[in-house]
Every structure is written in C-alpha cells, then in structure tokens.
Amino acid sequence: MATSKEMTLDDLFLDTLKDIYYAEKQIVKALPKMAKAAQDPALKAGFEKHMDETQGHIDRLEQVFDIIGKPARGKTCDAILGILEEGKSIMDEFKGTVALDAGLIAAGQAVEHYEMARYGTLRTWATRLGYADAAKLFETTLLEERATDQALTQLAEAGGDNAKAA
C-alpha cells in the first residue's frame, strides 16, 4: 500500500472508477423498481429505456478497467446509496398519491446528476492520463446520462407526473 505522499492521479482515477462501477450496479437494480412505481406510461418507459442503457454503462466501465489493465471491481459508494435511499423513501411516502411521479422524477434526476459529475471528472482525468479510448467511453456515457436528465425535465414540465391534478 502506497503512503499518502505516493498516491497519484492514477490512483485517484482507479478509485473513482471503482466508485462509479459500484454506483452503476446499484442503479441498474433500482431502475426496475422505479419503473414499476411510475404511474405515467412515458415515465415508466423512460426508466425502462435507461435501465438498458445502464447495462451498457457497466459494460463500458469494464472496458475501461481492461484498458488500464486492472480487474473490474467496485468500491462502496455512500453517495449513491444515500441518493437511492432517498428515492426509496419517496416511493414509500408518496405511494398512491398524485405527487408520486414528480417525486420519482426528482429522485431520478438526483441519480443522473451524480453520474454526470463522476463521468465528467473521469473523462477529464482519462484525457490527462493519456487514456484517450477511455475518455471516449466516458463521453459516450455522459451524453446518455445528460439526455436522460433532460428527458426527465421535459416530463416534469409537461406535467405528465400528474402532481398538478391535486
């Protein structure tokens, strides 16, 4: 184990890669539950579509582990556990109410924003460290996370979440 003074950007890169790998594996398990809970068919379809994309994110991360010659391994990410726990609370507390879908959209957007922060950072570091192919993989995923976030914003603005019907 390196002492703290010997830790490099490569170490931080690997650490962050393990963090998002763990997070994506939690997200892919949470999305079916969010899709099931959603009342608006468009929101349900959106979560289901992103579930498939998320499996692709996991595949891309495994490609990055391959590029840097490290085994694909996750590291517990307390941030995503907290974000998903909040989402679960919303599903429980607002079950059967007109505000449920609005809450699900908000929970989904919190997840996407966490991912966007991580992928943006990883893309920048990959470029600095000379992993151009990894940077491209992060960029591809980042665009999908951003598109998902924007689709959720549109659903919220369209009011398909039904929250105004109260």
Residues contributing to the site for Fe ion (CB under 5 A): 54, 57, 115, 145
Return the number of the residue (101 or 115) whose C-beta is nearest Fe ion: 115
- Distance CA(27)–CA(64), nearest Å, equals 19
Return the number of the residue (52 or 93) whose C-beta is nearest Fe ion: 52
Closest residue to Fe ion in the complex (CB): 57
Minimum CB–partner distance for residue 30 and Fe ion (Å): 10
Return the number of the residue (59 or 93) whose C-beta is nearest Fe ion: 59
Q: Are 117 and 19 in contact (CB under 8 A)?
A: no
Minimum CB–partner distance for residue 39 and Fe ion (Å): 21
Q: Are 70 and 10 in contact (CB under 8 A)?
A: no
Which has the closest alpha carbon to 83: 31, 37, 133?
A: 31
Return the number of the residue (82 or 159) whose C-beta is nearest Fe ion: 82
Query: What letter does residue 98 receive in the DSSP assignment?
Result: T
Count of other CB atoms within 10 angstroms of residue 115: 25
